[in-house]
């Protein structure tokens, strides 16, 4: 198993080295054409090795080469994006402080774009290939209360490299031909872990582990402490996130304004009632606000708050809007106003929030969003407990890289008809 991981690292390093070479070659061609000026040729003799070192070094430091490129997971691409951005910043810093100021800015821009496209592209290609031909590893779940068939469905959909072949109680478990042990953290006692020596271990986190998922380990006098500051509200992150929300919402409203007008006209022509559906939802710190959506149900409809499949209250045009998540477009106004963010836990009505556990109410420290982890990982296919864990995980670990990853996954989910995003 370790030899396969080593091979994975070597192949990843070789491919990325080729990517860096192709990125540099493309940048040189688009910037200088077939002939490089004498001054730029001298500068490039310093810049090119620096690019190789920073690009590959940033990926290595971020642990990218310890990941499987055949079975990538949801956040592998966001981690790669962060490593790519870090490499770009380091490269610019080295050139600036190294006083190689004659370096063509346009060359660096071309190189950064080409490197990102190629590094992402070859991994995406291997991922598609891997899902079809690469062998799937066997796993055993030691414990109880887990729907194996349902979990295997999600493992396959998300491209994980293993499937659970059997479930057994901790007392009855004996080593078989499985390579991976899956266990709840509550059952992961020293005796069980000792029996699993040589196996990969995947722990199913409880609420305590999720709340500590972003913790920093601190060693003091032989004792290891885990320090966490709770829901991430770093001011630099929040400022960057708000700036992104304003730009994205403004751009989206301008870009989709013709579509918004057409949808408004279609709603008026196909059913009676107002164009918009406005409802009070609970936002950050428990403050209520009015969410704006396109109306998809018949005017005056009553019944349960959540709609079911083939719900008779939903109009035919409303069903089309829901299929493509177009009913969410007006929420860009909520984002622009500041009630919501592009990415965050979905806001609920007060009656629902009042039934939340104290664990989940910590999510109210985060700005609600149009899309989030729950939307891209299953939405209606998930239980309330699973939604609670995902919302808490996002709140404790959110970052710009995670937000970008969720946005990209949302777009893919819409295109692949995976429910409402």
Whole-angstrom distance, CA of residue 205 vs CA of residue 220? 26
Domain presence at residue 44: yes
Closest-CA residue to 313 (of 328, 300, 330):
300
pLDDT number for residue 47: 87
Whole-angstrom distance, CA of residue 254 vs CA of residue 259? 10
Whole-angstrom distance, CA of residue 274 vs CA of residue 267? 8
SS3 201: strand
DSSP state of 314: B
pLDDT number for residue 281: 96
Domain presence at residue 210: no
Say if residue 275 is in the same domain as residue 152: no
98: confidence class by pLDDT, cuts 50, 70, 90:
low
Say if residue 33 is in the same domain as residue 115: yes
DSSP state of 297: B
Residues 350 and 414 sit within 8 Å (Cβ to Cβ):
no
159: confidence class by pLDDT, cuts 50, 70, 90:
low
Segment 338-354 shows an average pLDDT of: 95
pLDDT number for residue 181: 93
Domain presence at residue 7: yes
Whole-angstrom distance, CA of residue 228 vs CA of residue 96? 36
Tally of helices (H runs) and strands (E runs) in the chain: 15, 10
Domain presence at residue 288: yes
235: confidence class by pLDDT, cuts 50, 70, 90:
confident
Q: Return the number of other C-beta atoms located less than 10 Å from residue 177's C-beta.
A: 7
Give the 3-state DSSP-derived string for 13-34, with helices as H, strands as E and coil as C. HHHHHHHHHHHHHHHHHHHHCC
pLDDT digits 0-9 by tens, 244-280: 999 999 999 999 999 999 999 999 999 999 999 999 9
Choose one of 78, 110, 133: the last residue of a domain: 133
Among left, alpha and beta (phi > 0; psi -120 to 50; other), residue 230 is: left
Say if residue 118 is in the same domain as residue 30: yes
Whole-angstrom distance, CA of residue 223 vs CA of residue 32? 58
Choose one of 185, 204, 223: the last residue of a domain: 204
pLDDT digits 0-9 by tens, 307-328: 666 678 889 999 999 888 899 9
332: confidence class by pLDDT, cuts 50, 70, 90:
very high
DSSP state of 178: -
Domain presence at residue 228: no
| Structural domains of the chain, count | 3
Say if residue 253 is in the same domain as residue 397: yes
Domain presence at residue 90: yes
Say if residue 142 is in the same domain as residue 40: no
Whole-angstrom distance, CA of residue 187 vs CA of residue 193? 10
pLDDT number for residue 402: 85
Say if residue 44 is in the same domain as residue 162: no
Say if residue 184 is in the same domain as residue 251: no
Q: Is 50 exceeded by the pLDDT of residue 421? A: no
Q: Is 50 exceeded by the pLDDT of residue 420? A: no
Please list, residue by residue across 99-131, b when 16 or more beta carbons sit within 10 angstroms of its beta carbon and e when fewer do: eeeebbeebbebbbebbbebbeebbeebbeebe
Residues 421 and 410 sit within 8 Å (Cβ to Cβ):
yes
pLDDT number for residue 105: 84
Residues 143 and 167 sit within 8 Å (Cβ to Cβ):
yes
Bridge partners for 181 per DSSP: 140, 201
Residue 122, both tokens: 């070859």
Say if residue 278 is in the same domain as residue 351: yes
Choose one of 117, 133, 149: the last residue of a domain: 133
Q: Is 90 exceeded by the pLDDT of residue 40? A: no
Domain presence at residue 227: no
Say if residue 364 is in the same domain as residue 265: yes
Say if residue 280 is in the same domain as residue 401: yes
Say if residue 192 is in the same domain as residue 127: no
SS3 35: coil
Domain presence at residue 229: no
Q: Which domain holds residue 257?
A: 235-299+310-415
pLDDT number for residue 376: 84
CATH number, domain of 147, equals 3.40.50
Residues above pLDDT 70, as percent of the chain: 89
Say if residue 318 is in the same domain as residue 371: yes
Beta strands in 191-346 (DSSP E): 200-204, 216-220, 223-227, 276-282, 288-294, 341-343
Whole-angstrom distance, CA of residue 59 vs CA of residue 329? 36
């Amino acid at each position: 198993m370790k030899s396969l991981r080593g091979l994975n690292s070597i192949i990843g390093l070789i491919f990325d080295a080729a990517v860096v070479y192709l990125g540099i070659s493309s940048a040189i061609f688009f910037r200088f054409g077939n002939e490089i000026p004498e001054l730029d040729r001298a500068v490039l003799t310093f810049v090119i090795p620096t690019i190789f070192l920073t690009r590959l070094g940033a990926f290595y430091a971020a642990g990218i080469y310890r990941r499987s490129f055949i079975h990538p997971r949801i956040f592998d691409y966001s981690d790669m994006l962060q490593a790519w951005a870090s490499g770009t910043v380091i490269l610019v810093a080295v050139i600036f402080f190294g006083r190689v100021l004659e370096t063509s800015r346009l060359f660096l821009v071309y190189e950064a774009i080409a490197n990102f496209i190629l590094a992402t592209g070859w991994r995406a290609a291997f991922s598609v290939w891997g899902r079809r031909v690469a062998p799937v590893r066997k796993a055993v779940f030691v414990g109880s209360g887990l729907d194996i068939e349902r979990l295997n469905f999600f493992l396959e959909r998300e491209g994980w490299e293993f499937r659970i072949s059997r479930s057994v109680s901790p007392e009855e478990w004996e080593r078989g031909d499985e390579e991976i042990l899956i266990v709840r953290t509550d059952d992961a006692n020293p005796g069980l872990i000792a029996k699993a020596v040589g196996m990969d271990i995947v722990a199913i986190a409880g609420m305590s582990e999720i709340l500590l998922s972003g913790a920093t380990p601190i060693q003091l006098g032989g004792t290891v402490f885990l320090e966490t500051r709770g829901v991430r509200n770093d001011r630099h992150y929040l400022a960057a996130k708000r700036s992104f929300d304003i730009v994205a919402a403004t751009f989206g409203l301008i870009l989709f304004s013709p579509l918004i007008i057409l949808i408004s006209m279609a709603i008026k022509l196909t059913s009676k009632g107002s164009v918009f559906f406005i409802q009070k939802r609970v936002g950050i710190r428990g403050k209520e606000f009015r969410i704006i959506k396109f109306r998809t149900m018949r005017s005056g409809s009553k019944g349960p708050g959540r709609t079911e499949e083939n719900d008779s209250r939903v109009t035919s045009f409303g069903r089309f809007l829901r299929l493509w998540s177009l009913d969410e477009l007006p929420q860009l106004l909520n984002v622009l106003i500041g009630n919501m963010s592009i990415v965050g836990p979905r806001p609920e009505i007060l009656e629902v929030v009042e039934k939340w556990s104290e664990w989940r109410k910590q999510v109210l420290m985060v700005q609600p969003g149009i899309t989030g982890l729950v939307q891209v990982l299953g939405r209606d296919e998930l239980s309330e407990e699973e939604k609670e864990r995902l919302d808490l995980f996002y709140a404790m670990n959110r970052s710009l890289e995670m937000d970008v990853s969720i946005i990209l996954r949302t777009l893919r989910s819409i295109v692949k008809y995976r429910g409402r995003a």
